[in-house]
Amino acid sequence: MLLKGLCLITMTALLPVSAADWLQFRGPNRDGVAIEKGLLRAWPEGGPKEFWRVPVGAAFSAISVEGDKLYTMDSDDAGEYVLCADAKTGKTIWRTELDALFTNNFGNGPRSTPTVEGDTVYALASRGTLAAVNKADGSLIWKTDIKTFGSEIPTWAFCAAPLIVDDQLILETGGKDGKNLVSFNKKNGEVNWTASNDDQAYSSPVLMELGGIRHIVALSKEHIAGFTLDGKEMWKQAFVQELGIKPAPPLIIEGDKIFVSASYDAGAKLVQLKASGGEIQSESLWEAKVMNNHFNGSVAQGRIIYGFHKATFKCMDVVTQEQKWVKRGLGKGSLIMSDGLLFVMGERGRLVLVEATPKAYTEKGSMQVLTGRCWTQPTLSNGVLYVRNNKEMVALKVK
């Protein structure tokens, strides 16, 4: 299905275009936290007002937003695309084909979320085409096939989100012979360095700074590990090495700890990091089956985390492993956090607003915004919440 940019529902008010942008997977810091204030503390009956609702082609890609433009991926019978739309109306501005369509009985189309940086949008198609396109018109700047590193299309397709650090684009490729983690020159796609003999695990790397040391934290099939910005391994810890499905990304806790979690009864692990003399050392604090994130990660509020333990929404103290509360009925959902509020999308399209507190599950609003399979996490930017599934994309006024 081609996205024609048809606006089915349009509010007369214009979207704000100043406030915090959401330029990549899981937001400004890749932790699921938006930098927003003045949000509605409770929703009216029926939920917040819609700005617009438009059709969109099949994909699990989330939405990135910069000012009055949004960027995501979709598909039709011919192929997979990265696209730009007007954030005020949902109308498509440009749509660039990247690769042939990936099909799967759980859902067709792209899985990765575009990263917006400078004048460029970076996107990864399901079959391994990594591309940089011009933000203004969608014209191709460069593209490459990450299967050239010796990887094969995974069962659930390539889905990692490109991470931009300075002039580098960093991505897990599943490559062989020390090429699982690859750094590309973001301007031309040339390879800077490769690292890691591990296999990919559908996860996206994050950037962390500790003791003045910036480094890449990457979750693979075998390890959670840290790498310098020139590809040298600094530390690593084993984590459920027999499981190769770990799409929930590493989560930084209190600035010096890393939390990782996976489903299929894998559980979670908390790693303590310490910086000294230009080096970083790691220590495993605990590993237990207290949180099993499946395809969406948790969010952290200090040492308190909120996330989906299989199909149960849960709050816990990540240091002591103490469970604070649980909520059932949303399935394997996703969530983001801002201004003391949790925006939670159930996997069947129920959207709820929850107070971010370990005291109790306190629901402040609810609406059935979508139907069918809803596995894509929301996006919050400039006071607007964006949600999507395989058929529709919706913008909601939450400020």
Chain centre distance of CA 345: 14
Lowest mean pLDDT among 17-26, 32-41, 100-109, 289-298: 17-26
Instruction: Using CA atoms of 34, 35, 38, 39 in order, give the dihedral in degrees to the nearest 10.
Output: 0
The topology (CATH level 3) of 50-397 is Methylamine Dehydrogenase; Chain H (2.130.10)
Q: Are 394 and 369 a contacting pair, CB within 8 Å?
A: yes
pLDDT score at 19? 52
> For residue 7, is pLDDT > 70?
no
Q: Which two tokens stand for residue 325?
A: 């509360």
Q: Which two tokens stand for residue 332?
A: 């394997």
> For residue 323, is pLDDT > 60?
yes
pLDDT score at 211? 96
Instruction: Return the domain boundaries, the chain.
Output: 50-397
Chain centre distance of CA 262: 15
- β-pair type (379-381, 140-145): unpaired
Quote the percentage of the chain above a pLDDT of 70.
Answer: 95
> For residue 191, is pLDDT > 80?
yes
* DSSP-based three-state secondary structure for 147: helix
Query: How confident is the model over 357-387, as pLDDT tens digits?
Result: 999 999 999 999 999 999 999 999 999 999 9
Residue position matching structure tokens 């590993």: 287
Question: Rounded distance, CA 166 to CA 209, Å?
Answer: 14
Query: How confident is the model over 207-241, as pLDDT tens digits?
Result: 999 999 999 999 999 999 999 999 999 999 999 99
Nearest by Cα to 151 from 116, 115, 189, 198:
198
* DSSP-based three-state secondary structure for 348: coil
Nearest by Cα to 180 from 160, 207, 208, 156:
160
Q: Which two tokens stand for residue 389?
A: 């599934």
pLDDT score at 273? 98
Burial of 46 (0-12, 13-18, 19+ CB in 10 A): exposed
Q: What confidence category does residue 342 fall into, taking pLDDT thresholds of 50, 70 and 90? A: very high
Q: What confidence category does residue 393 fall into, taking pLDDT thresholds of 50, 70 and 90? A: very high
Quote the percentage of the chain above a pLDDT of 90.
Answer: 94
